[in-house]
Amino acid sequence: MKSTSTTNRTEYYKISSFIFLYFFTWSASIGLLAIWLGQKANLSGSVIGTVFAVNGIFSVILKPIYGYILDKIGMSKYLLYFVVIMSALMAPFFIYVYQPLLMSNTLLGIIIGALYLSFAWYAGVAACESYSDRFSRLNGMEFGQIRMWGSLGWAVASSFSGLLFNLSPAYNFILG
């Protein structure tokens, strides 16, 4: 990191911590999603493939919408707050909404799940990274140094997600 003022250093720590925690929670919840869909929601391999395909479609649709919103609000953090709230509500969503929906009405569950996951993570990550990139450029920092914390967060969560999943898959969602 270039020589920066104390204020910039504090801001660097804040944005890096945010990116670390965002990717940590994403990895803790999504890293073993395919296994969870098979074991807990009792979906077949082809239906799990459909879940991921629909998730991708919704993500592709929502990313430009998030991009447009970010362009309009600039460096305001309102969209990030929305993404964080959606991420924080992931455990109740998976446990009380997504799993029962997938088991009772699979198609509706796939659509609702894709919409929610795209708002929180699949398209949300683009909003977080775009904000971080813009932040780094405005403050004379390297985006790669900030983004590296996201990779580290993903790796740390991945290191013990499997262990938690073996205890109870819900622990990963609660942690995330």
pLDDT of residue 150: 94
Q: Which two tokens stand for residue 111?
A: 């659509």
Q: What is the pLDDT of residues 49-108, one digit of tens each?
A: 999 999 999 999 988 888 888 888 877 788 888 888 998 898 899 999 999 999 999 999
pLDDT of residue 176: 67
Contacts from 170-175 at CB under 8 Å and sequence distance 24+?
Answer: 170/91, 170/94, 170/95, 172/28, 172/29, 172/31, 172/32, 172/36, 173/28, 173/29, 173/90, 173/91, 173/94, 173/95, 174/91, 175/25, 175/28, 175/29
pLDDT at 175 over 60: yes
Q: Average pLDDT, whole number, for the chain?
A: 89
**Is the pTM for the entire model greater than 0.75?**
yes
DSSP 98: I
CA distance 62 to 68: 10
Matching CATH number, 7-175, of 3.30.1490.20, 3.30.565.10, 1.20.1250.20, 3.40.50.1110: 1.20.1250.20
Alpha helices in the chain (DSSP H): 6-30, 33-39, 45-73, 78-88, 90-92, 99-104, 106-117, 124-138, 143-167, 169-175
Kindly provide the b/e burial profile for residues 63-88, where b requires at least 16 CB atoms within 10 angstroms of the residue's own CB: beebeeebeeeeeeeebbebbbebbe
Cβ of 124: how many Cβ atoms within 10 Å?
25
pLDDT at 6 over 80: no
CA distance 55 to 44: 17
DSSP 60: H
Q: What is the pLDDT of residues 35-50, one digit of tens each?
A: 999 999 999 999 999 9
Q: What is the pLDDT of residues 10-40, one digit of tens each?
A: 889 999 999 999 999 889 888 899 999 999 9
Q: What is the pLDDT of residues 133-157, one digit of tens each?
A: 988 998 888 899 999 999 999 999 9
